[in-house]
Chain A
Amino acid sequence: MTDSLELAGEKAAAVPDTTGTRAATIADRFFRNPVLGPLSALILAVIGFSIFTQNFLSVDNTSLILQQSVVVGTLALGQTVIILTGGIDLANGAIMVLGTLVVAKMASGNHGLQVPALLIGFVVCAVLGLISGLIVSRLGLPPFIVTLGLLTILTSVSRLYTKQTVLVDDGPLTWLSKGGYLFGQFQITFGVVLVLLSVAALHFALTRTAWGRHVYAVGNNDLAAKRTGINVSRVLLSVYVLAGLLYALAAWQAFGRSPATSPNAYPTANLDTITAVVIGGTSLFGGRGTVLGSYLGALIVLVLQSGLTQAGIDPLYQNIVTGVLVIAAVALDSITRKKAR
């Protein structure tokens, strides 16, 4: 036994311990920070487009990109927490659209009903999240299939519910785009502030609370999570309900973008959010990633679209670029995961 202790001492001495030093820790943390990748991609794209196009960095354009980010950005937050648990949500756009329809129909023509209608919208979206959460956590069915089914059902339900475009009046529902803060010429709407606050709140919950660590643990290794005493099924349920609430928030944001709502709106929201999440550095295998990265991912897609449009490139190429980016991001994730093994 003493012999082995000596061996251990030898081994420790042979590898000089530099990680304890302060400089090493800070550098380490910086390079290990998962937001670094998407953030540098965003900065590079912004620099690139501002060199090669005339108006990209103009006050109007940057303010517009931020405003465009609110709906997909908020939906992507819900998508992120679900993907962190190793799941995926194909129904998020459909849940949000049904939410907007319910709210719009209730509030149409009656100004005073806008706030109660919005609250009902939150309930509807949370219940839909609860349903997929219950099926995933209690029956143990794969989230891909569950949410694909829910997507199909909800698309029909929305069209049965209303076939027309429903308009809402200006009021609390459209408030998110009607006001904001002006920094010189640069406008930041309440919607943008709200999406930033949502990112911050969720980031806090995921990194600074036990719930957040349990979300990561469940996505990392659900058996391990269970054995350490974590109630895996309750964590999953909470994640799907939270995602539903975030989709309702996205519905509110959507009214800010446009007072007209229809069952055909946001047909590709689910894929757009998965794109944002993946580009933002979150692993589709679960357990790794950040909500901040997902929001940056949503911004990257918008920056590319805006920049390529300004450069006069056919919009079809924008989708090709986005697609390539998604595959590259997943490949990067897969490679780093293999290295970690």
Chain B
Amino acid sequence: MNEIVLEARNIVKRYGHVTAVAGADFDLRAGEVLAVIGDNGAGKSSLIKVLSGDVVADAGEVLLEGQPVHFRSPHDAQKAGIETVYQDLAMAPALDIATNLFLGREIRRKGPLGSFLRMLDVKEMRSQSRRQMDELGITTLQSITQPVDSLSGGQRQTVAVARAAAFGRKVVIMDEPTAALGVRESRGVLDLIKRITGTGIPVVLISHDIPAVFEVADRIHIHRLGRRAAVVRPSDHTMNEVVGIMTGALPPPDPSEKVVPA
């Protein structure tokens, strides 16, 4: 049984009168792909935003490798090693791939050129970007110096995922990474997710795409009415059963704690 990397207990998040997250639990184990699914409005996005530092919870605690953490901004979460791929990708379209990969984390030249003139080490950033793409087996990008707006949707998603994988030392969170993509491009991203977990980093995958979830996830966190309704293994249930639990048509199965990655 793998140890828990990221954990949340009793998270509550209210927006005015609306309680989006009502005492939700969450746990992510080393090396797994954990899918988070739930109906619109079930509060899965809010829960994930708490984990990525995008919003601050009203109550509850988040533990990273057993230590309590308090993220006030996405930047805090990033510093702790949690990277998020946002649905709208968070990229500067006019800048090239390598620049986008290192945006906010630029590498400066060594010596006085870097410390006094604050000059960037463009060469180093490009070669590291190239290496990162090779490591993830990304072959669809022609050149690392292409501006992002010359890329297709799938290629942009690939860059965003590669960035998250490069800097997410502990956790990579992906919010609907295949929602805007065609079949072939979705497949590329799913393969990428598997390759990231192959490097030992666990991935949280928020998705509406149940077949995709069944293909890549080790466990499925089913969110319903602001809480975790169940955690199941895709091998134990059919897609219909999972959708049934998600919508409330079926009662949740055995307690979540017992379900661990195979």
Q: List the interface of chain A (C-beta within 8 A of B).
A: 1, 4-5, 7-9, 11-12, 15, 17, 19-20, 25, 204, 208-211, 213-214, 216-217, 220-221, 223-230, 287-288, 340-341
Contacts and interface: CB of A to CB of B under 8 A. Distances in A.
Contact of A9 (B108, B119, B139): B139
B92 A216 contact: yes
B157 interface: no
B221 to A, nearest CB: 23
B103 A208 contact: no
Nearest to A286: B94
Interface of B: 74-75, 78, 84, 86, 88-95, 99, 103-106, 108, 117-120, 122, 137, 139-140, 142-143, 145-147, 149-150, 184, 187-188, 190-191, 194
Nearest to A220: B92
Name the residue among B84, B88, B89, B139 with the largest chain A CB count within 10 angstroms: B139
B88 A230 contact: no
B93 A220 contact: yes
A229 B139 contact: no
A7 B187 contact: yes
A223 B90 contact: yes
B118 A223 contact: no
B54 to A, nearest CB: 8
Contacts of A209: 117-120
A9 B143 CA distance: 16
Contacts of B146: 19
Name the residue among A209, A221, A224 with the largest chain B CB count within 10 angstroms: A224
B144 to A, nearest CB: 10
B139 A217 contact: no
A184 to B, nearest CB: 35
Contact of A210 (B106, B147, B149, B194): B106
A225 B95 CA distance: 12
B191 A223 contact: no
A217 B95 contact: yes
Contacts of A25: 143, 145
